[in-house]
Structure 1
Amino acid sequence: MSMFYAGRHRAPSQSSQVGKRASATVVAAAALGLGTATIGAQSATAAPSTSSTESTATFSGLVKQGARGDLVKQIQRKVGVSVDGVFGPATRAGVVRWQRSHGLSADGIVGPRTGTKMRLRSGSATAARSSRTSTRTTNFTGLVRVGSRGDVVKQVQRKVGVSVDGVFGSGTRAGVVRWQRSHGLTADGVVGPRTGSAMGLTGSTRTTTTASRTSTRTSVSSSSLLSTAASLVGTPYVMGGTTTSGFDCSGFTRYVFARHGKSLPRTAEQQRQATTPVSSPRPGDLVFFGAPAWHMGIYAGNGMMYDAGNPRVDTTKRKIWTSNVTYGRV
């Protein structure tokens, strides 16, 4: 722009031209993203603007499995899972994936570092208090495991996200194992004082404990169980068979134990998970081949077992042919 003084046109001063050239340089540098270039006094004023747009709000809460609310919905949108405001196993898995992709510790818990990285919005303090409340512990003194029944089992099933029927079976045990692993506990599938307290279990713990102990104390006589197994020797092997018309391996063991009032799941692997592992087997324990189990039988003592073998080997008593086996007690 030309400048006029007293009606006479004068050329712009040299200092004015230098200023314009400097301004043009700043604009060009800004367009190239060179906000930190040393281009004179202008660079000092550009830096605060850049840093302010990159700043994030500090998150100080703790949101984990079991939490509910609007903050959980923010997390679910961020990790790309169904938005229902309930922090369940699917949300935890999504958080783990998100943490891994952003170079964070993949523990499935949204603490200060993950929450800050996610740029969680307002309401974090309230949500954090809500999360702590929902995950508070109680003083649980019971013992709930496979075979237990009742209201406390239903609480466990709701907590681990499995079908709620009040019967602690193999599905519930698997859910408890997953829950224990995700919360840094010993993953044994048994809800004792530590796991139960972490779950916040309440209610008739003594009744459930008594029922559980009673169910584990009532053992089947090994001699009568082996007698039943021996009476079935010669029954044909039938894939999927569960009756005296024909057995497969798990159908045979299930039938024998049912004759003595003990209910077992259907498959070999389910039965493996439903039993208590033992290192010193006794007659009447179950013997499993592989993990997951692909075959099983009833230990008869002295390295022998009763089993429904395969299409070439009908139900029989025979030697256990490998040491690569495990044993479980009902």
Structure 2
Amino acid sequence: MTQFYAGRHRAPQQPTLRKTGLSVAAAAALGLTAPALLTTGTASAAPATVSAPSVTSTTSAFSDIVGYGDRGSVVRQIQRVVGTSVDGIFGPATLSAVKDYQADNGLAVDGVVGPRTGSEMGLGGSTSSTSTRAASSTSNFTGVVRYGDRGSLVREVQRAVGTGVDGVFGPATLSGVKRFQADNGLAVDGVVGPRTGSAMGLQGSSSSSPTRASRTATRTAISSNSSVLDTAAGLVGIAYRYGGTTPSGFDCSGFTQYVFAQHGISLPRTAEQQRQAATRVSSPQPGDLVFFGAPAYHMGIYAGNGMMYDSGNSRVPVSKRAIWTSNVTYGRV
């Protein structure tokens, strides 16, 4: 067998013991091996043993915070580390993967890439030039955006919470907003008001799009003119149909959804979704929604004086009748 040395094969050389006065046995007792005792300065000397390079710690000093809703190149770095789709948007999938990473590495499982998590991931520096967190912290949003609103601000909200961007504040956006609020220590009400909007990095107010201000005016007009009640009254007598959402037959939430749609107000499909989308009120007005149970199993439109319009069941078509229990809640949209 030959040794590989300096780019050419050479025949192995027999080691010559250094004249140290040590016998081979004594050298062995001291833990010295034959190569350590080779005579130096001769052409036959074996090359010195190369020490293995020392391992340099790769732990970086990350000094910023990246969380749900942020965007940019640092988010893409995080996504590569945790193994999610790399789109530069800190959405639900990235949040879940970050939490898994934190759990696997003995870190606090909060879904936020702060100094400890970021350093563990090997991120460096700060994210001020690439993420939206800095902008979010200095934003001064003064409007209100909520379920049923439409427009450019709704699209901004949807981008912040990682839902489909269609400009319509529907059930998916509502869930995304509530998740964002929970993740950022905000009141979980599904409404993008000044605090939530500022945390999202929204700017200005919602006055430039068909938002809550205009819808509030519409809602006031509906109440004062009783137009919702007029529409509901015009549907009295239509048969109950499970899953029905048209005048050919209604279930309870299909009836309320249809009535409010005639006045430009979009409601989600089920009774419980409508309960969550509505703002709870303790002093109901005619035209508000009335909910039975929580989660809601039935609902109708409050008509005043303890009465309501609803589509009851297979034996009770759309009708105006008394609310038969006090165990109800009221909501306004």
Q: What interval of TM-score do these two structures reach, taking the shorter chain for normalisation?
A: 0.7 to 0.9
- CA distance in 1 between partners of 2:178 and 2:70 (Å): 20
> Which residue, out of 98, 103, 109, partners 1:100?
103
Which residue does the alignment assign to 1:18? 29
Write the deviation string for residues 143-182 of structure 1: whole angstroms up to 9, x where unpaired: 2223434332322222222333334344433322222222
Show the 5 A alignment for 1:171-320. 171-202=172-203, 205-208=206-209, 212-218=212-218, 219=220, 220-221=222-223, 223-320=226-323
* Partner-residue secondary structure (3-state), 1:196: helix
Q: 1:241 to 1:58 in 2, by over 3 A?
A: same
Q: 1:156 to 1:287 in 2, by over 3 A?
A: same
Report the CA distance between 1:266 and its aligned residue.
3.1
State the percentage of identical aligned residues. Answer: 60
Residue segments in structure 2 that go unaligned for 5+ positions in a row: 1-14, 34-53
Q: 1:249 to 1:125 in 2, by over 3 A?
A: same
Q: 1:86 to 1:12 in 2, by over 3 A?
A: same
* Partner-residue secondary structure (3-state), 1:308: strand
* Partner-residue secondary structure (3-state), 1:195: helix
Please tell me the residue identity of whatever aligns with 1:328. G
* Partner-residue secondary structure (3-state), 2:125: helix
Residue segments in structure 1 that go unaligned for 5+ positions in a row: 24-48
Which residue does the alignment assign to 1:161? 162
Q: 1:99 to 1:320 in 2, by over 3 A?
A: farther
Q: 1:110 to 1:236 in 2, by over 3 A?
A: same
Please tell me the residue identity of whatever aligns with 2:240. Y
Please tell me the residue identity of whatever aligns with 2:160. K
Please tell me the residue identity of whatever aligns with 2:31. K
Segment drifting more, 219-228 vs 98-107: 219-228
- CA distance in 1 between partners of 2:65 and 2:73 (Å): 14
Please tell me the residue identity of whatever aligns with 2:215. S
Q: TM-score, normalised by structure 2?
A: 0.74
Please tell me the residue identity of whatever aligns with 1:93. S
Write the deviation string for residues 227-284 of structure 1: whole angstroms up to 9, x where unpaired: 5434433321112222333211112112333444544333323322332211232332
- CA distance in 2 between partners of 1:182 and 1:248 (Å): 35
- CA distance in 2 between partners of 1:261 and 1:64 (Å): 36
Segment drifting more, 247-256 vs 295-304: 295-304
- What root-mean-square deviation, in Å, do the aligned CA atoms of Structure 1 and Structure 2 show? 3.5
- CA distance in 2 between partners of 1:73 and 1:270 (Å): 34
Quick check: 1:66–1:135 contact (8 Å CA) kept in 2? Answer: no
Which residue does the alignment assign to 2:149? 148
Aligned length: 297
> Which residue, out of 74, 86, 90, partners 1:71?
74
Q: 1:257 to 1:54 in 2, by over 3 A?
A: closer
- CA distance in 2 between partners of 1:4 and 1:262 (Å): 97
- CA distance in 1 between partners of 2:151 and 2:108 (Å): 38
- CA distance in 1 between partners of 2:212 and 2:167 (Å): 13
* Partner-residue secondary structure (3-state), 1:99: helix
- CA distance in 2 between partners of 1:263 and 1:68 (Å): 30
Quick check: 2:171–2:273 contact (8 Å CA) kept in 1? Answer: yes
Quick check: 2:58–2:122 contact (8 Å CA) kept in 1? Answer: no
Write the deviation string for residues 188-215 of structure 1: whole angstroms up to 9, x where unpaired: 2222222222222236644348x53232
Quick check: 1:76–1:82 contact (8 Å CA) kept in 2? Answer: yes
Q: 1:206 to 1:282 in 2, by over 3 A?
A: closer
Structure with the largest fraction of helix: 1
- CA distance in 1 between partners of 2:152 and 2:81 (Å): 36
Report the CA distance between 1:216 and its aligned residue.
0.7
Quick check: 2:144–2:205 contact (8 Å CA) kept in 1? Answer: no
Q: 1:313 to 1:112 in 2, by over 3 A?
A: same
